[in-house]
Amino acid sequence: MKKLTFFFDGIEVSAIPGQSIGAALLESGTKVLRSTRIENKPRGMFCGIGVCFDCLVVINGVPNQRACLTEVAEAIQVINQQGSGAYPIEGAS
Ligand code: FES
């Protein structure tokens, strides 16, 4: 079966077409997908059906994307979301 490649925190991850980003990351051994806003605690796949929001990641620069519901695509850049994943505010230092 042909596989896709995407990146998580800059590391190449292999996935099956149609697979969710969360499933591909779990298969690769990646368990931590984000950290909480207040206490910086690690979170990862929990419900796997889009309900708990523990799997939020940044995909191609867009924060708050659920890894369990988002299908992999070739060469997308996924990063571990820190806190709320808010966009940087222009002009802020
Ligand atoms: S794992 Fe619960 S919303 Fe994605």
The dihedral through the CA atoms of 36, 27, 63, 10 has a sign that is positive
- CATH code assigned at 71: 3.10.20.440
pTM, two decimals, is: 0.90
Structural domains in the chain (count): 1
Residue 77 lies in a domain: yes
Q: Which ligand 1 atom is at minimum distance from the Cα of 50?
A: 3
Asked whether residue 87 is domain-assigned, the answer is no
Which of 88, 4, 91, 51 minimizes the C-alpha distance to 78? 4
- How would residue 1 be classed by pLDDT, with cut points 50, 70 and 90? confident
Q: Which domain holds residue 38?
A: 4-82
User: pLDDT per residue over 30-82, tens digit each?
Assistant: 999 999 999 999 999 999 999 999 999 999 999 999 999 999 999 999 999 99
Closest CA to 5 of 39, 65, 77, 14: 14
| Distance from the alpha carbon of residue 56 to the mean position of ligand 1, in angstroms | 8
Query: Which residue reads 């800059």 in tokens?
Result: 10
Nearest atom in ligand 1 to the alpha carbon of residue 68 is 4
State which ligand 1 atom lies nearest to the alpha carbon of 45: 1
**Pocket lining for ligand 1, CB < 6 angstroms:** 45-48, 50-55, 66, 68
